[in-house]
Structure 1
Amino acid sequence: MPSEETDWKQALFGYVSIINEAALHADARKLREIPDKEHRERLERRLFSSTNRDTRWAIKPVRSEMRVRIERYNVIRGEVIADISVHLVRSMEQLTQPWMEERVERERLRFAQVSKSWRLVSVQPIAAERPPEIFSVEEQIQDQWDGERKPVSLSTPYMNPQALYGFKSRVYAGSASDDDYGYGMNRRGIPYRREAAVAYAERWWNEPNPVYENFEVNCTNYVSQCLFAGGAPMNYTGRRPSGWWYKGYSKNEEMWSFSWAVANSLQHYLGNPRTFGLRAEAVSMPESLQLGDVICYDWDGNGRVGHNTIVTAFTPEGMPLVNANTVSSRHRYWDYKDSYAATEHTRYHFYHITDEF
């Protein structure tokens, strides 16, 4: 391996070590070694918020490990641009009882060669819980890899009867009409199988189910899949602004409802009362939630939800731990104080999914 390649990778692992040590020991002083001021401030805000939370609830980080995978990189004229994924595994403890939290964050790092050494210049999160307005067709992004400008758009979804990956559901029983096949709205008394929803969430938290399309902003698509795996029947209307459904691609038109894949739309769907299908009750406290319930995140407190998670476990004191996508997360503490998206104005919507549809 060429020495210059080894040197920039050493600078990369030095950066990851700094973050890991700062988080484990709740010591923001270690972050001073990161030269990118904007990113350093992001890390400091996150560390401050999560440390205050842990102190309040007597949560103790026992062990922290970060595994780095280099997804791709370019070396051009004394500069390296690298996309990486950092798999964080943290052992937490409360009331002497442990649990393990995991998440995978993706970042784009820029290194510059100074004399004979490489130094980190900048860090930019690639995926974040605060997505862009993805439904604006005029919006453009600049891809730093090929220099092309590309429209921001959602991936094309499709429906597949094997989507449950072995999680059997009665919603497939019956005739094959649009109103019946795969959607189950003619049925009553379907139980919400919370353990099945959680099992699906655990299986696919860090790997897209290949029989579904994987969206760039995937949090709500993932939560909808989990609810569906738990037996929630789709409400197929054929109109994207209404119902809760995911059918496929037909006649050059994307066939899925906004509520299936868009955070704010799912929150509206869960928040509106109905007498059949997927229903939820808004509760005021996270302690009132059960496995398979949903938390929606309004980052700025302005009434617009930007992220959704599903409850998959609990702390020893009974607070929810959640799984999520976009930033793939497993058993993450529900309040997301460790998210770059969180602000002091963040508001939460807690939804208890009905036990029977």
Structure 2
Amino acid sequence: MRQAWKNTLYLYVDQHNRHEVDDRHQTLHAPITDMDYTLRMSERSRRLKRWYRERDTSPLKSQTKAKLIRTREGEGEVTVDMEFHVQREADQQGTTFVEERIDRERITLTREGKSWIISQIDHPQMERHMRNIQLGTEQEQGALSPPLPYLNMDVLGAVKTAKSSPYLREKAVQYAEQWWNESNPRFLSFEVDCTNYVSQCLFAGGAPMNYTGRRESGWWYKGMVNGSEGWSYSWAVSNSMERLLTSSTTGLRAVAVKHASDLQLGDVIAYDWDGDGHYQHNTIVTAFDKNGMPLVNAHTNNSRHRYWDYQDSYAWTEATQYRFFHITDFF
């Protein structure tokens, strides 16, 4: 009977891959009774068709590697946590672009007679994570697995002094490419890691840390020191980084620009999924498409060369707002 539910799961994984480029009805498809999921995916398919058309882009093929992370079996029901590594190719004006991303899903299978159906599919929207605000202070997400040493000086170089130094965009991009789908073991890793990852990329590019010793000010990281968390909110919290880049006049600085096309390599985009002024995600620009539009890398839902507007994300809504930050050329 165990093999029976796995057969249904394998069928879903194959369907998941095919629907990345072709959402037409297939001869073989997994039995899914989750109508909320069906409506969500129908809307996503409609949106992505328009999205490709407006970008003058056509999806070519997709390759999906599925990993079963966790299984919980009960009487007549199985819940599995899956990780999908999606590599999607698209053509834009004769040039092929390759995008990669990591999606996670929680799938519930239910036995009906001798068959197994998929009764529920959830997409944990880690990119929508919002820090709690209490008494005006952002409460940080706890980090995982404190490693040593805390700063990888061999990779990143020494902390910059007050002397003016350039932002090395190619170094920031090189770091972003190296660590897009894993964590640098010389830094702490967070469950919600997007801003921590972007901060590391900026630091690799030469952005100087501003060690104030206070969580709510500056932009700095020390790791775990005597059991205490040693980093500023702006280093690891999406909304705090957005505020820092908006207002900082020393150290790490940026200029807000109006359009995504105004950005350069190593620049930053902040995402407010609900349009309520609280930013929940950050990415770094690592490439451009044929139209000069940014492609970005990110953590949490790890992504490489993803189209900047994230309309293929389960976190995206019609209310989504963006901030485009051009990092200053000198610090």
Per the TM superposition, whether the score is higher than 0.5 is yes
Query: Equivalents in 1 of 2:126, 2:47: separation in Å?
Result: 17
Query: Equivalents in 2 of 1:32, 1:120: separation in Å?
Result: 8
Closer, same or farther in 2 for the Cα pair 1:112/1:34, shift >3 Å? closer
Query: Equivalents in 1 of 2:69, 2:144: separation in Å?
Result: 24
Partner of 1:69: 67
Q: Is the 8 A contact 1:241 1:257 kept in 2?
A: yes
Question: Which AA in structure 2 matches 1:35?
Answer: T
Partner of 2:42: 44
Partner of 1:354: 328
Question: Which AA in structure 2 matches 1:316?
Answer: K
Q: How far apart are residue 44 of structure 1 and its match? A: 2.4
Deviations 1:241-278 (A, max 9, x none): 1000111233543211110011010000001140x311
Q: How far apart are residue 78 of structure 1 and its match? A: 2.1
* Structure 1 unmatched runs, 5+: 138-151, 173-181
Q: How far apart are residue 329 of structure 1 and its match? A: 0.5
Question: Which AA in structure 1 matches 2:317?
Answer: T
- Which has the higher mean CA deviation after the structures are superposed, 89-98 or 76-85? 76-85
Closer, same or farther in 2 for the Cα pair 1:266/1:153, shift >3 Å? closer
Closer, same or farther in 2 for the Cα pair 1:194/1:162, shift >3 Å? farther
Q: Is the 8 A contact 1:134 1:154 kept in 2?
A: no
Matched, 1:14 2:11: yes
Question: Which AA in structure 2 matches 1:246?
Answer: Y
The secondary structure found in structure 1 opposite 2:48 is helix
Q: How far apart are residue 58 of structure 1 and its match? A: 0.9
Closer, same or farther in 2 for the Cα pair 1:104/1:5, shift >3 Å? same
Partner of 2:85: 87
Which of 281, 291, 312 aligns to 1:317? It is 291
Partner of 1:167: 155
Question: Which AA in structure 2 matches 1:105?
Answer: D
Query: Equivalents in 2 of 1:229, 1:88: separation in Å?
Result: 27
Partner of 1:146: none
Aligned ranges 1:111-130 → 2 under 5 Å: 111-130=109-128
Partner of 1:225: 200
Question: Which AA in structure 1 matches 2:291?
Answer: E
Deviations 1:284-333 (A, max 9, x none): 11111111110001111111111100001111111100001110111100
Percent of residue pairs identical: 45
Q: How far apart are residue 136 of structure 1 and its match? A: 6.7
Question: Which AA in structure 1 matches 2:63?
Answer: E
Partner of 2:20: 23
Question: Which AA in structure 2 matches 1:262?
Answer: V
Query: Equivalents in 2 of 1:24, 1:230: separation in Å?
Result: 36
Q: Is the 8 A contact 1:156 1:254 kept in 2?
A: no
Q: Is the 8 A contact 1:157 1:249 kept in 2?
A: no
Closer, same or farther in 2 for the Cα pair 1:210/1:134, shift >3 Å? farther
Closer, same or farther in 2 for the Cα pair 1:263/1:278, shift >3 Å? same
Which of 282, 285, 304 aligns to 2:278? It is 304
Query: Equivalents in 2 of 1:168, 1:252: separation in Å?
Result: 24
- Which has the higher mean CA deviation after the structures are superposed, 126-135 or 104-113? 126-135
Question: CA RMSD, aligned part only?
Answer: 2.5
Q: Is the 8 A contact 2:130 2:280 kept in 1?
A: no
Deviations 1:210-232 (A, max 9, x none): 11111111111111111111111
Closer, same or farther in 2 for the Cα pair 1:12/1:36, shift >3 Å? same
Matched, 1:5 2:12: no
Closer, same or farther in 2 for the Cα pair 1:264/1:81, shift >3 Å? same
The secondary structure found in structure 1 opposite 2:324 is strand
Closer, same or farther in 2 for the Cα pair 1:49/1:188, shift >3 Å? farther
Query: Equivalents in 2 of 1:304, 1:45: separation in Å?
Result: 25
Query: Equivalents in 2 of 1:101, 1:278: separation in Å?
Result: 29
Matched, 1:279 2:253: yes
Question: Which AA in structure 2 matches 1:96?
Answer: G
Query: Equivalents in 2 of 1:94, 1:351: separation in Å?
Result: 26
Query: Equivalents in 1 of 2:69, 2:172: separation in Å?
Result: 30
Q: Is the 8 A contact 1:130 1:306 kept in 2?
A: yes
Q: How far apart are residue 336 of structure 1 and its match? A: 0.4
Which of 212, 234, 238 aligns to 1:237? It is 212
* Structure 2 unmatched runs, 5+: none
Query: Equivalents in 2 of 1:249, 1:273: separation in Å?
Result: 25
Question: Which AA in structure 1 matches 2:201?
Answer: C
Deviations 1:124-169 (A, max 9, x none): 12353111435679xxxxxxxxxxxxxx942168696674474242
Closer, same or farther in 2 for the Cα pair 1:68/1:83, shift >3 Å? same
The secondary structure found in structure 2 opposite 1:23 is coil
The secondary structure found in structure 2 opposite 1:310 is strand
